[in-house]
Amino acid sequence: MTYPNTPSIGGNTFPVPCLTAPAATDATVADPSVADALTAPDGLRPTLSEPVAALTSFDDLCGSFTAPAAELSSDARAYAAASQADHTRRAYAAQLKLWPAHAEAAARPAFPADPADVANWLAARAQAGQAYATLRTAIAAVRAGHVAKGLAFDTRAPEIELVMRGIGRTHARDQRQAEPLRGIDVTEILAGLGRAPIDLRDGALIAIAYLFALRRSELVALDAGEHGTGDGFVTVTARTVDLVLVRSKTARAGEVERVSVPRGSVTRAVEAVERWIAAAGIAPASPLLRSITKGGAVGGRLHPQSVPGILKRRIAEHLERKGVPRDKAEAEAARFSGHSLRVGFAVTAAEAGATADEIATVTRHRGLEMPRRYAAKADAVRRSPFNRPGVGTD
């Protein structure tokens, strides 16, 4: 395996596949899929799940990383380049456009950075309303930029740790959660779809995302029947619908994640998937979810940024069918995101009495913190004293 744009830096290098980040501002992360990763329920960690010292380059992540003295084979360099997930490289690239711009404006060196300068940058961004989780990612990105240049940077410097601790205490806020699209809504949406190619595609998309509580990046990277060029695949058998993910945000290196759903309990969703595969002529090991032209022609693999728009449009149509005026239906649909089907499954399961462990078998959370939160909230609603006669205000 070889990659372009890999200039040599001091001898051996790790080539990094090109992933240019879009323009970013201090108030946003450039790629919406990255923003989802930072605000999603299981994404709010001190940093993204990838190691902060993972490979990256400075300008647009099309570069190289200084290697150890020993010569690396082409295969070893290729594996090193694959050590970091695409969404992590995009997140770091967005932050690595912001930090040098700030340092230049302040007439301070960006590399090597003074921890006090980074702490001042973080404080200014916190004052501007930047989320705590995004600031933690910014710290990791600055370190990654140093590593890419063969420099050291201490993310645990007292200036940084104290400022971040103060930001966390001063700007504490409730963790944002995507609006859940519950199982009953999924069933009704699927029932209301037509038989045009785009309807069939959207039905399969909604069904699969809900069945397996998928992130949108995972959803569009699926193949049909067996592993092809994507990150996993879906198979439908006489008894189950099965998901196999060979790469995902939650999987550890070398780990394959598997989820099986009893077919008999999700008949409408299975029908939606099978209708799409048959109508579109999706071959085994080829992309499962495809783009659709205005003329109805089936194209290549769907882009993750298309998922929120598809979901919002179908929710708005569903609400209109129920008699909601168009403007109100569109306003309500705008509250949902590409993460809503993943959250919707977890909330629906919790409200039905599923335990945190049971929910995690589908959501594949590394820990049980988020599944327990869903379960605890549902249990609190069920056990609320306001459910008893005479306690409420009716």
The answer as to whether 8 is a domain residue is no
Least confident of 173-177, 183-187, 234-238: 173-177
For a pLDDT cut of 90, what percent of the chain falls above it?
52
Asked if residue 210 and residue 164 are part of one domain, the reply reads: no
Average pLDDT, the chain: 80
What CA–CA distance (Å, rounded) separates 125 from 120?
9
Asked if the model's pLDDT at residue 389 lies above 90, the reply is no
Q: What is the structure's pLDDT at 44?
A: 30
Q: Order the strands of the 240-245 sheet from edge to edge.
A: 222-224, 232-236, 240-245, 257-262
Asked if residue 233 and residue 96 are part of one domain, the reply reads: no
Asked if residue 216 and residue 148 are part of one domain, the reply reads: no
At which of 122, 140, 170 does a domain end?
A: 170
What CA–CA distance (Å, rounded) separates 191 from 193?
6
Hey, which of 24-38, 113-127, 159-173, 245-259 has the most confident mean pLDDT?
Answer: 113-127
The answer as to whether 288 is a domain residue is yes
Asked if the model's pLDDT at residue 159 lies above 70, the reply is yes
DSSP-assigned states of every residue in 130-197: --HHHHHHHHHHHHHHHHHTT----TT-HHHHHHHHHHHHHT--PPP-PPP--HHHHHHHHHH--SSH
Q: pTM of the entire structure?
A: 0.67
Range of the domain at 52: 13-170
C-alpha 129, offset from chain centre: 22
Asked if the model's pLDDT at residue 98 lies above 80, the reply is yes
Asked if residue 238 and residue 148 are part of one domain, the reply reads: no
Which whole number is the average pLDDT over 29-56?
33
Peptide bond into 325 cis (omega under 30): no
DSSP-derived 3-state class of residue 241: strand
The answer as to whether 178 is a domain residue is no
Which residues partner with 54 through β-bridges?
none
* CATH code of the domain containing 110: 1.10.150.130
Asked if the model's pLDDT at residue 254 lies above 70, the reply is no
C-alpha 228, offset from chain centre: 21
